[in-house]
Structure 1
C-alpha cells in the first residue's frame, strides 16, 4: 500500500526539478539572490535523507492505521469522487493541526524545524523535509475511525505534499481572491519568516481557510520583508545534524534541570520554553534580527561543481532504492540507505570546508567505482556510478588545485612564534 504514496512522489520528482530549473532561469534573468549552491544542496540532501528514512519509518504508523481501520472503523466508505474530495479536504484539516503542533510544542518542533532551517527561500526549500516525525501519524487516526481506506489516506497525503512544493518561491506575488482560500507563495512566505509579526502563522497545507478560522492567519506585509530561517540558527549544511539539533538541546535541558516536572515540560511545553534554572546556567543569546546575516561558507567554482555532481549521484541511488525497495532484502536496503546518508553528510562537510572531508571523498569515490564493477546491479546503474565516480575523482583534482595556496614560510614563522610564546 505504501506504493501508492511512493508512486505519486516518484512521478512528481521530474516535475519538481523542471520547476527548479525554470526558477533558476528566472533567477538569472531577474538577477535575484534567492539561490546559493551550499544551501540548495543542503535542502536537496535533506529531502533525499527524508525519503530514505521514510521508507522504514512509515511502516509502523501505517500498520497501526490499518489496524484501527480494519477493527474500529465506524463505517465503510465507498471510493466515490465525493468521498475522495472529502478525504482530501479532511486530510488538510488534520494536517493543519499536525503542522500547528509542529510549531507550538517542543517535541514536534524538534522534528519539523528541519524544514525551516534554510535561510533562503526557493523551490529547493520545499524538499528540505524532516527525517523524524514519528508521532505525527496520530493526527490522522480519526480518518481511520471514520472509515477512509488506507490507500486513500496515502494518496491524498501525497497529493497534499506535492501541492505544497510550488508555494516555496519568491518569484510569484499575491494571487488576488485565491489568497482567501488556498495556501499561496505569499502567505507561505509568511510561514517561513522569523520576523516577530510573522512567527507561527499560516499553517495550512493546501487551504488557508483553516488559519482564517482558527486565528493563525497573517498577511504578507509590503513594509515587512520576510527574514527566513529560525531563531536558533543551524549554522551547518549537514542534513543529519539538522534533524538532531533541537532534540540535542531538549535532551540537555531535560538532563540539566532539577525539577522533575520541568524534565517533562521541556518536551511537551510551548516551543522555546526552557526551565528557569537551565536558562540561568546555560543562556542562549536571542537572535538580533536587525543585524541578521545568513550563514554562509565560501566555495570555489570547482567545489560547487563537485558537490552538485555528488548530489546527483546520491539522488540517483536514492531514487533507485525508492523504486526497488520492495524487491530488496532489508540488509541491502539498509546498506544503500546508509551510503546515501553518509555521502550526504560528508558532502555537507565538504561545503563546510572541513579538511578531512576531502580525504573521505577520495576514499568514497574509489569504493563506489570498485562497487560498480564487483557488485551485482543493473547495467545502467553500474555504468552511471562508474562514470560518476571517475568524474568525481577528476573533479577532486580540480578542487584541490582551486583551493587557495598556503604560504608555508608564513606558517613556519607562525609556528616558531607559537613555540616561543
Structure 2
C-alpha cells in the first residue's frame, strides 16, 4: 500500500494535486527535485499516449521528431546545472534584503499566494517570450516541433533560465525562496500533460485552468492561434488581459516558417543566428533596436510585417532513413538517457573533469543522432568518432 500511495502522490505532481503541508519547506536545500522524481511518469505517459493513438488508428509518433524533442529536454536539464543556481541567487538576494514583509513558510495561505504569484509571473514571462524577438529566439525551440504530443512538452530551450527568473523577481518581495522553488517546479510539471491531442474539452474547468484544448491553440501556427493562451496553470490571466482564444478547428503545429533539421544545436540557436545576421546588416539605430526588442513579426517594411504571420508552411519535414538506422538511433538514444539520468544523480560527487567529459559526450551523441536523422552525408564519420570516444 505504501508503494501505491507513493505512486499516486507522485502522479499528482503532474496535475498540481499536492498537499500544501507536505510541499512546504523552510530552506532551499530541503526542496525535493520533483521534476527528476516524475521522469519515469513522463516516459510511461508518452508510451500510453502512443498506444491509445495506435488503437484509435492514428499514426505512431515520428521517431525523428520525438528524439529531437527529448534531446532538447536533456540539454535543458544539463543547462540547469549551471544556470539554475545563478538565477536563484538573485531571487534569494532580493528576498533577504528587500522583501516587503515576511510570510510564514508553513502556512497554507503562503502556499496559495505563491501558487497565484508564480503562475502570474509565468504568464508575463511566457507572453514576453512571444512578443520580444530576442526572447522568442530561445522560446521558439518549444514551438519548433510540427507534432503536438507529450514529447513536445519536453522540447525546451537551454537559455530560458537566464531570463525567466527576471519575471519572478517581484515575487521575491514576499514569497520565501523555498516556497517559490516548489511552485516553480509544479508549474512546469502541470504543463506536461496538456501537450496532447487525446483530451478534448474539460467542461467548466476550461474557464479557469489551462487545458489541452487551450494549449493546442497556443501551439498552433494558424492565424487565429498566433500569440494566444499564454497561461501556465490558470487561463484566467489570458481572459483578463485579452490574449484568450478558444479552439475552433483542426490546428497546424510548428513555426510559421519551419526549420528543416533535427540537429539539437540548430534547433536551439537558429533564430539567434537569424537575428544577429539581420542586426549587423540593417541600417539605423532604431532598426537595430527593433530587430532585437520588437515582435518577431516586425520588419523594416510594413508590408513584410503584415505578411509575416500569413506565410504558414505546412510541409512536414520528415526525411526517411532505413529501419536499421532508426533502431540503431533508438537503442543508442536510450543509452544516452541512462547516462544522463546517472549523471544527474551523481553530478554533486563527480570531479569537474568527469562532469565535463560526460556532458561533452552527451552533447556529441545528440548531435550525431540529429545528423543521422537529417541524412547528412558526414553523419557516419561523426558517429564513428563518437563511438571511439566512449
Alignment TM-score > 0.5, same fold: yes
Partner of 1:243: 268
Post-superposition CA distance 1:52-94 (Å, at most 9, x none): 1121112221111111111111122112122112101210011
Moved more, 324-333 or 295-304: 324-333
Kept in 2, the 8 Å contact 1:172–1:186? The answer is yes
Change in Cα spacing, 1:202 to 1:172, as seen in structure 2 (3 Å) is same
Q: Which has the higher helix share?
A: 1
SS in 2 for 1:183: coil
Partner of 2:223: 196
In the alignment, the residues of structure 2 paired with residue 337 and residue 3 of structure 1 have an alpha-carbon distance, to the nearest angstrom, of 24
Are 1:226 and 2:251 an aligned pair?
yes
Are 1:76 and 2:86 an aligned pair?
no
Partner of 1:33: 59
Kept in 1, the 8 Å contact 2:118–2:168? The answer is yes
Kept in 1, the 8 Å contact 2:222–2:312? The answer is no
Partner of 2:386: 364
Aligned counterpart in structure 1 of residue 148 of structure 2, from 118, 121, 127: 121
Kept in 2, the 8 Å contact 1:42–1:237? The answer is yes
- Displacement, 1:120? 0.4
- Displacement, 1:299? 2.0
Partner of 2:90: 64
Length-normalised TM-score, structure 2: 0.88
Kept in 2, the 8 Å contact 1:117–1:233? The answer is yes
- Displacement, 1:232? 2.3
Post-superposition CA distance 1:169-202 (Å, at most 9, x none): 0111111111111111111000000000111100
Q: How many corresponding residue pairs? A: 361
Are 1:316 and 2:344 an aligned pair?
no
Are 1:141 and 2:141 an aligned pair?
no
In the alignment, the residues of structure 2 paired with residue 151 and residue 335 of structure 1 have an alpha-carbon distance, to the nearest angstrom, of 32
Kept in 2, the 8 Å contact 1:238–1:348? The answer is yes
Kept in 2, the 8 Å contact 1:253–1:266? The answer is yes
Kept in 1, the 8 Å contact 2:257–2:311? The answer is no
RMSD (Å), alpha carbons: 2.1
In the alignment, the residues of structure 2 paired with residue 4 and residue 244 of structure 1 have an alpha-carbon distance, to the nearest angstrom, of 35
SS in 2 for 1:360: helix
Larger Rg: 1
Aligned counterpart in structure 2 of residue 299 of structure 1, from 316, 321, 344: 321
In the alignment, the residues of structure 2 paired with residue 356 and residue 254 of structure 1 have an alpha-carbon distance, to the nearest angstrom, of 32
- Displacement, 1:289? 6.4
Partner of 1:12: 38
Post-superposition CA distance 1:317-369 (Å, at most 9, x none): 2122222222223333222112111111110001011122123223322332x
Q: Where do residues 152-163 of structure 1 align in structure 2 (5 Å cutoff)? A: 152-163=179-190
- Displacement, 1:288? 6.7
Length-normalised TM-score, structure 1: 0.82
Partner of 1:24: 50
Partner of 1:395: none
Return 5+ residue gaps in structure 2 as ranges.
1-26
